[in-house]
Structure 1
Amino acid sequence: MECLQARQLSKFIGVVSFISASYDSVDGPDLELLAMMRKLIVLNILLLITSVTKASEFSYIVGGITPHIQKPEGKYSKPLCNELSEGSGIIYTDLKSFRVQSSENEQWGFLVGENSYCKPIWGGTYSYQFYQSERVELQATVGFYHFDQEGFDFSEGAYFANVGNFYFVPIVGVEMNFVLYTSKSLEVKMMNLVTPVISHHSLGFIFPI
C-alpha cells in the first residue's frame, strides 16, 4: 500500500512539474503573472500532499471564452479587455485552474490568471458532481477569486464582495462538461461554467493519478 501511495504521489508531482516547467520558455510582460502561477502550483502541491494519495485524478483547465451575461454600466465603467467584438461582452480570458478530485464526486482547486480587465487574479474552487454519463457531467461549483482594487470596475452592475480590504468575486454556478477524448492516461473535456453574471468555456486536461 505504501509503495502504491508513493507512486501516486510521484505521478501527481510529475504532472504538475511538467505544467510548471512549460512556462520556462515564456518571456515578455507576462513573466510576473507566470511567476505567480508557478508559486501557486507549488502551494497547491504543499496543501494537497497529505490527501493526494487518496485522490483519483488531477485536472488542468486552461484558457477560456467568457460571455458576460451582465456587464457593468454607467459613465465610470471600464471597457472589457480582449473583447472579441466591440460591445458584445464576449472576451478571451487568460485563466488557468488546477484541481484534484478528493472523492468520487468532489473536487478542490486553485485558479490563477486575469480578470475581465486583464488584471491578475487568484482564487479557489470547490465542485460537487451530481450527474455523470459517458460523455456529459454536471456539477455545482462554488468559490471566489481575489482582485486588486486598482484592477476592477466598481461601477453600477459590478459584482463583488469584500471582507475589510480583501476584495473578491464570489463564484456560484453550474458546470456542464463534455468529454471530447478519453484514454487510460488522459481525458480532454470542454468545460462550461454558468453563473448569474457570466459563463466561462475552456478546455480541461484530466490525468489519472
Structure 2
Amino acid sequence: MSPRTKEQNDAIREMRMKQIMHAAAQVYLEKGMQLEVRDVADKAELGYGTVYHYYKNKHMLLEDLLWDALDIAEKTIQPDGDPRDARLPRAELLCRRLLGGVMAQPSMFILLKTVADNFHHFPGNRFGKLSEEFQKRIFSPLASAVREELDAASPEITANVLFGSLIGCAALAIHHQTQAELDADRVVAMIFSGLRPREREQTW
C-alpha cells in the first residue's frame, strides 16, 4: 500500500477535527466545564489517543471550539441572496440568522452563551482577543442595524436585549430538547413586534 499524500493527510485531519468539534459541542451541552477529553473521544467514537494527539487538555479544545464557532457565526449572518431576505429589516434578519444558527449548530450556542457570560467559566484571560473579534464580527453589525432601523437612543443596549432574548429562547429549547418545535423566524418576529411599538417611548 502506498503512503498517503499530503492532500489525503490534510483531508483526514480536517475530517477528524470536525468530528472532534461536533462531539465536544455535544458533550459541553451535557456536562459544561466538567467535560473531559476522554468524554469527547467517547462521543466521537474515536480513541482517546487520537483526540489527545490534537488536544492535550480540555481548555485547548474548548478554545478551538469557540474560535471555530465564531467563524461559523460570521458566515451564518452573511446575506445569501435569498430574495425573501430583502423584505426584512437588517436587524431582524441578523437575529433570525443568529437564532436559526444556534439551533442548528450547538457550537454557535455555546459561543453566544459564553460571550454573554463573559467567559466566567474559563480560566485566565485567554479569551480577550476572541471577545474583541466577536464584538467586531457579530455584535457590532447587529448594533449598527439597530442604530439605523430602530432609532434607539442606545443601540448597544437594545442590541444586548435582543442578543439576550435570542440566547434565552435557544437555551430553553436546547436544554428542554424542543429545538424542533422552535420556529426561529416566528420567535424573532414576535420579539420585534414588541420592540417596534415602544421605540418612540424608550429611553435606552
Q: Same fold (TM over 0.5)?
A: no
| Larger Rg over CA atoms | 2
Higher helix share: 2
- Using the size of structure 2 for normalisation, the TM-score is 0.28
- Using the size of structure 1 for normalisation, the TM-score is 0.27
Higher strand share: 1
